[in-house]
Amino acid sequence: MLKSMAHSAFITNITQKQNEIKFFLYPNAKIAGEKIPGLLSRVGHNMRYVHGGAPYFLYTLRGKCDILEHVENIIHEVDGLKLNKEI
């Protein structure tokens, strides 16, 4: 279920190394870049956006937490960045 949610949000891969989770995006993902600052402010200082060849969001886990819940919430937030198809 998480995999299909992630692909729908233009996330190609999710990796975790120690307390950092990376959410890799399709290089040509149809997202509204102007919405990224709002997402980062909602999530807090735990997340940043790294753009370039393979853009990704980097989320840093703090303290004990439910990792799957955080991953699901972030996928939902990234899904909200999709461009509207309506003109």
Q: Mind listing the pLDDT tens digit for each residue in 36-70? A: 999 999 988 899 999 878 899 999 998 888 889 98
> Looking at the predicted structure, is the pLDDT value of residue 76 above 60?
yes
> Looking at the predicted structure, is the pLDDT value of residue 85 above 60?
no
Q: Residue 73: in which H helix or E strand, if any?
A: helix 67-79
User: Is 87 domain-assigned?
Assistant: no
At residue 82, the 3 state secondary structure works out as: strand
Total structural domains within the chain: 1
Average pLDDT over residues 7-35: 93
Domain span at 34: 2-79
User: Is 84 domain-assigned?
Assistant: no
Q: How many residues does the chain have?
A: 87
Closest CA to 78 of 17, 30, 19, 16: 30
Strands (DSSP E) along 1-87, which ranges? 11-17, 20-25, 47-50, 56-60
CATH code, domain with 53 = 3.30.1360
User: Is 47 domain-assigned?
Assistant: yes
Per-residue model confidence (pLDDT) at position 87: 41
